[in-house]
Structures are given as C-alpha cells and as structure tokens.
C-alpha cells in the first residue's frame, strides 16, 4: 500500500519536508510505501469554476502546472497526507489553489481514502491551517487519521523542525496510525453514501 504526501511549501527541503520525511521513514518501518510530491515554486492557477474538468475524465482544463500531476497520483495512492507552512494563519495559497482544482477535477480517485494534514509554523496559526486543510477530507468521505496531538511541527529557518522533538514524535504517531488503518481496512476506501444517490439542496431557488 502507498501513501501520497504533498509538500505544499515553496521550499523543497524546508521544514515541511522535514516533517513529511519523518512520516515517510516511519511508514517504511511499518511496511507502507510513500511518495512525497513537491508542488514547486512556480505560479499555479486557481479554479475559475469553468466546469471543463467534467469533460476531461479526472483532469483540470489547465494543464500548465502541478495540479494534474497530483490528480493523476490519486489513483495510485491508498491514502493522502498534505503538509503546508503557515502564512498569516493560513495554508500556502498556491497549495490551496492546487488542491481545490485536484479535488474537484478528480475527487472520484481520492474519495474515501484515509487522509491527514501536517502544519508547520514559526510560532502560531498552525491550528487554523490544520482545520482548513482537513475540510475537503470531510466532504469526500475520507477518514481523518489522528495522532497524539494536532499534527503541528515548529521551525522557522530550513531544517529547524528537526529540533522539535515532540513534533517529530507526533509525526511518527501519525504514521503508525495511518499504517494501522490501511492494514486494518486492507486499503479499501470508506463506502460513503454507497448506492444512495446524492440529494443536493440549494437554498436559493
């Protein structure tokens, strides 16, 4: 089984990568494969609500950034972990833009699979980032994997997160819980609504 991890920092080898790498090492010790995909530091597009992805079988109409690369990897993965630095108490805007498009255009490939968030900050705002990034999981029937604390690691300069002993322990606990859930379910996604058709309600008619 395989866990897809997204490094949502513009710094490829920064503190977000330190946290995700600790998870990867622990997953490997539990017999679970993982892959860290970096969103990069080039411009990315936001969703423009064009709806063209419905015609493209799981791909966003904009194919000039990392979005469709990540969306394609949803099918290969049995679980998802998203890591982000904290900017003004919010996730990296580029990460949000990519995730919103990837989730909307290829939700069928990731729905029901276990997921978790990792927030990395200098001092504060991590809990808001943690809550924000968890929101899509709850809309896509994705079981949220927990740890011994909120999945937060502290560090400002690149590499400082390696000094956060409790934060790294939290990452290892998260990895063990993820491995346990995948093995317990055999990697099978949560059923969600099952055969019950969706009954959307729009309050402005």
> What are the residue ranges of helices labelled H in 107-157?
126-139
The percentage of residues in the chain with a pLDDT greater than 90, rounded to a whole number, is 93
Residue 6 predicted with pLDDT over 80: yes
What pLDDT shows up at residue 59? 96
Confidence tier at 161 by pLDDT (50, 70, 90) = very high
| CA angle in degrees (0–180, nearest 5) for 77-131-28 | 35
Question: Is residue 60 within 8 Å of 102, Cβ to Cβ?
Answer: yes
Domain boundaries 2-185, corresponding CATH code: 3.40.50.360
Residue length, the chain?
205
Q: Rounded mean pLDDT of 97-103?
A: 98
Helix or strand holding residue 6 (H, E): strand 2-7
- Phi/psi for 127 (5° steps) reads -65, -35
């Amino acid at each position: 089984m395989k866990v897809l991890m997204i490094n949502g920092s513009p710094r490829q080898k920064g503190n977000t990568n330190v946290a995700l790498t600790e998870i990867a090492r622990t997953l490997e010790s539990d017999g679970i494969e993982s892959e860290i995909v970096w969103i990069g530091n080039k411009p990315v597009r936001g969703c423009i609500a064009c709806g063209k992805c419905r015609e493209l079988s799981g791909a966003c109409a904009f194919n000039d950034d990392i979005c469709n690369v990540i969306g394609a990897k949803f099918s290969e993965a049995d679980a998802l972990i998203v890591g982000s630095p904290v900017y003004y108490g919010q996730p990296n805007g580029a990460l949000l833009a990519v995730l919103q498009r990837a989730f909307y255009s290829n939700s069928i490939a990731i729905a029901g699979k276990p997921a978790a968030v990792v927030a990395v900050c200098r001092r504060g705002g991590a809990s808001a980032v943690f809550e924000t990034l968890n929101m899509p999981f709850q809309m896509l029937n994705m079981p949220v994997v927990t740890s011994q604390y909120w999945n937060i690691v502290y560090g400002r300069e690149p590499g400082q997160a390696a000094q956060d002993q409790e934060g790294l322990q939290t990452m290892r606990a998260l990895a063990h819980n993820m491995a346990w859930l995948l093995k317990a379910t055999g990697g099978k996604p949560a059923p969600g609504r099952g055969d019950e058709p969706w009954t959307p309600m729009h309050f402005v008619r």
